[in-house]
A and B are shown apart, each in its own frame.
Chain A
Amino acid sequence: MPLFWLRVAVGFYGLGLLYALLALARRHEILARLIMPVIGIGFVLHFVSLTEHYINVGRLTPDSIHTSESLLAFLIMVFFTGVYLRYRTTAPGIFVFPLVFLLTFSAAVGLKPPQFTSPVLRSGWILVHIALIFTGYAALFFSFAASLLYLLQERTLKSKHPGSLMSRLPALEVIDQMGYRSLLLGFPFMTFGIIAGSVIAQAEFGSRYFLDPKIVLSLLMYAVYMLLVYTRWNAGWRGRRAAYLSTFAFLAAILAWAANYVSGVHRFIAP
């Protein structure tokens, strides 16, 4: 049943994806009015699916890669909703919906996922680690999306042929604020998430975990994240430079996410 709800939710997110594509192609007058209700229904069903799943499984830690994907997508949607309520704009959807659709679609196709069997996942600490890191990921992705929006709006303003795209995107400073705030918000989550992870890994594996590809990539991502926060705060980097950095951070985050398959310490599937 959770899978069923998730699949319906994916359908709704699919419409969101359509909106994102049409928004770039500059034709979406009707969808623009329907987008929030549609996405809202998808979001609620997504929530139902996740809750039901957790009740079925009996614990909050993800039991498969698909649950993690669904959870991450859900957190990103929470962010999106928060931003929508604060700034009344669906513009980040251009980048958010495709990713959310991808994550939920992958989680919903129903291929029997490899189950996480590692006993590590039973501990309460790991739950803290996951919740923190995932929120950090969502925030990072959001600031990435915002920096792309910023570039888009900046280009439109500089081209001096402001078309309809400009009028639909929020003001440059508003986009900047959105990105910076989610960056700042995500930073403590990411920091404490990584600390929590390190503590667990230290307890479980001792110091050999440091050379694990997952850890190296995570630290790289964290370093770029720190650099992003620092350059924005200290030198006010935004626009192109910030976009490069956050693209880099986002790529590092994807690699760190994917590194589960090659990681020794972060692989929870039974060998």
Chain B
Amino acid sequence: MNRFLLIGVNHKTAPVEVRERLAIPESRLPEATKRLAGQPGIEEAMIVSTCNRVELVARAQNGTADLRSFIREYFQVEPCTVEQHLYEHREREAVRHLFRVTSSLDSMVVGEPQILGQVKQAYAVARGVGAINSHLDALVTRAFAVAKRVRSETAIGASAVSVASVAVELAQKIFGSLEGRAVYLIGAGKMSELAARHLLAHGAAAIFVANRTYEKALEMAERFRGQAIHFDKLYETADKADIVITSTGAPHTIFRREHGERFLARRKNRPMFFIDIAVPRDVDPAMNELDGIFVYDIDDLQQVAAVHVADRKKEAERAEEIINLEVERFAARVQSSHVVPTIVSLQEHLENIRQAEVERLRGRFGQVTPEQEAAIEALTRSIVNKILHTPITTLKSAAREQGEGPLVELIRRIFNLEDAAAKAAKSGSTDD
């Protein structure tokens, strides 16, 4: 536990210019991961790089690894430009951060499903280059399980879906029926695709796709059975669409007021609905001032979706609770994994004694009523648990502080646990 490290930037700590400097394109991710894992003092490593964040996750050999120097060297950046935007977590906090990221609690659109896939991809890359071994593997797979749990036990994922359905609702309030309406999808992204899919499901017909990489546009157009458009033809074609969804990574707006005016003139003032999912925004907010053009950015959509803000807050709080719990569980598991066999056999030992004594009692009293039976069970169990409580917690905290020590040996000898411990060790040592 005390050797997990995490360093990174995200949409909250760094402006897009910094995130761009640190972003690692997919093609170079394996090489970068491999290099990170090969750094002195680092045992295992994984890199998550998306447009909103870059996270370096590592397990150090002895807690002296320097991830900051890796960032400086790998990205060739001056410390002063990046340093202030970096956050660094260790141990428990690193675990918590990774859990939060994977569960989409740290996302710009809290609950959006994309991030889980991105972490999974980073994990696959790191495995592929052999940068992940048992410890980081345990952490990351646990993070996936936590994300799953958060998604299924809270409604946090619903908010991302609701952003898409809010987009549909608004489109219906503008256009009435969406039957036959044209949708223009600019840039890629799960959120925008989700919105497009919702619109299509409600009757929107034609779809145009534009992307800076034409191949990507083609590929997406194929998926939507739409038409791919070259990016430089964007302004000539955008007015064909009633609904424009933008989610490019462009650092400045691509649609400005004068474009809107031109579109309206060509459309004879028929209304247009811009759904701007990109951050930074792709559509100049001033466009919303034009009669007949409606611009909703991601914050606006979320605001509309958040009619029941209290509910959403409650869901987020519940998700955080789950994360806290899972961090504790993971920590306990990692820290006490050596003492677990001893604890298990100690528990088994006392349970055997308890059961034997209960049987003897029964033999002496003969038939007992179910109430009496239950009372006996409860009483004996609680005695055993109370007796065990202190030794187990002592064992765990001792393990946390000094690893497998003389205490384990002592307990084994006191209770004569040799055989049971060996048996448990053989059957696997990571049970909890």
* In contact, A158 and B294 (Cβ under 8 angstroms): yes
Of B32-40, B156-164, B173-181, B185-193, the segment with at least 4 beta carbons within 8 Å of chain A is B173-181
Q: Which residues of A contact B308 (CB under 8 A)?
A: none
B270 close to A (CB within 8 Å)? yes
The smallest beta-carbon distance between B20 and chain A, in angstroms, is 29
B288 close to A (CB within 8 Å)? yes
Q: How far is the CA of A92 from the CA of B291 in the complex (A)?
A: 22
Q: Which residues of A contact B296 (CB under 8 A)?
A: 160
Which A residue sits closest to B271, measured CB to CB?
A172
Of A12-20, A44-52, A236-244, the segment with at least 4 beta carbons within 8 Å of chain B is A236-244
Given A158-B288, A160-B300, A241-B291, also A173-B175 (CB < 8 A): yes
Which A residue sits closest to B288, measured CB to CB?
A158
Given A154-B291, A157-B294, A158-B288, also A172-B174 (CB < 8 A): yes
Which A residue sits closest to B269, measured CB to CB?
A236
Contact partner of B173 (CB less than 8 A), chosen from A153, A177, A237, A238, is A153
* In contact, A171 and B269 (Cβ under 8 angstroms): no
Residues of chain A from 177 to 199 with CB closer than 8 A to chain B in the complex: 177
A162 close to B (CB within 8 Å)? yes
* In contact, B176 and A174 (Cβ under 8 angstroms): yes
Which B residue sits closest to A234, measured CB to CB?
B268
The smallest beta-carbon distance between B25 and chain A, in angstroms, is 35
The smallest beta-carbon distance between B185 and chain A, in angstroms, is 22
Q: Which residues of A contact B267 (CB under 8 A)?
A: 236
Q: Which residues of A contact B170 (CB under 8 A)?
A: 157, 162
Given A154-B291, A241-B291, also A235-B176 (CB < 8 A): no
* In contact, B268 and A235 (Cβ under 8 angstroms): yes
A170 close to B (CB within 8 Å)? yes
A83 close to B (CB within 8 Å)? no
Complex interface bits, B14-47 against A, C-beta within 8 A gives 1, otherwise 0: 0000000000000000000000000000000000
Q: How far is the CA of A173 from the CA of B181 in the complex (A)?
A: 12
A166 close to B (CB within 8 Å)? yes
If over half of A's interface residues share one DSSP class (helix, strand or loop), that class is named, otherwise mixed; here it is: helix
Q: Which residues of A contact B173 (CB under 8 A)?
A: 153, 157, 162, 166-167, 171-172
Which A residue sits closest to B270, measured CB to CB?
A236
Q: How far is the CA of A236 from the CA of B292 in the complex (A)?
A: 10
B416 close to A (CB within 8 Å)? no
The smallest beta-carbon distance between A199 and chain B, in angstroms, is 36
Q: How far is the CA of A166 from the CA of B166 in the complex (A)?
A: 13
* In contact, B300 and A235 (Cβ under 8 angstroms): no
B355 close to A (CB within 8 Å)? no
B304 close to A (CB within 8 Å)? yes
Residues of chain B from 254 to 269 with CB closer than 8 A to chain A in the complex: 267-269
* In contact, A239 and B291 (Cβ under 8 angstroms): yes
The smallest beta-carbon distance between B291 and chain A, in angstroms, is 4
Q: How far is the CA of A160 from the CA of B296 in the complex (A)?
A: 8
* In contact, B269 and A237 (Cβ under 8 angstroms): yes
Q: How far is the CA of A238 from the CA of B271 in the complex (A)?
A: 9
Which A residue sits closest to B181, measured CB to CB?
A173
B133 close to A (CB within 8 Å)? no
Complex interface bits, B264-282 against A, C-beta within 8 A gives 1, otherwise 0: 0001111100000000000
Q: Which residues of B contact A162 (CB under 8 A)?
A: 170, 173, 304
Q: How far is the CA of A232 from the CA of B138 in the complex (A)?
A: 66
B172 close to A (CB within 8 Å)? yes
Which B residue sits closest to A87, measured CB to CB?
B176
* In contact, A238 and B292 (Cβ under 8 angstroms): yes
Which B residue sits closest to A175, measured CB to CB?
B176
Q: Which residues of A contact B176 (CB under 8 A)?
A: 170-174, 177
B13 close to A (CB within 8 Å)? no
Q: How far is the CA of A172 from the CA of B271 in the complex (A)?
A: 9
Q: How far is the CA of A3 from the CA of B297 in the complex (A)?
A: 57
25 A–B contacts from the bound complex (CB under 8 Å): A153-B173, A157-B170, A157-B174, A158-B288, A158-B294, A160-B296, A160-B304, A162-B304, A170-B176, A171-B176, A172-B174, A172-B175, A172-B176, A173-B174, A173-B176, A174-B176, A234-B268, A235-B268, A236-B267, A238-B269, A238-B292, A239-B291, A239-B292, A240-B291, A241-B291
Residues of B within 8 A of A (CB): 170, 172-176, 267-271, 288, 291-292, 294, 296, 300, 303-304
Q: Which 4 A-B pairs have the closest CB atoms?
A: A236-B268, A236-B269, A171-B176, A239-B291
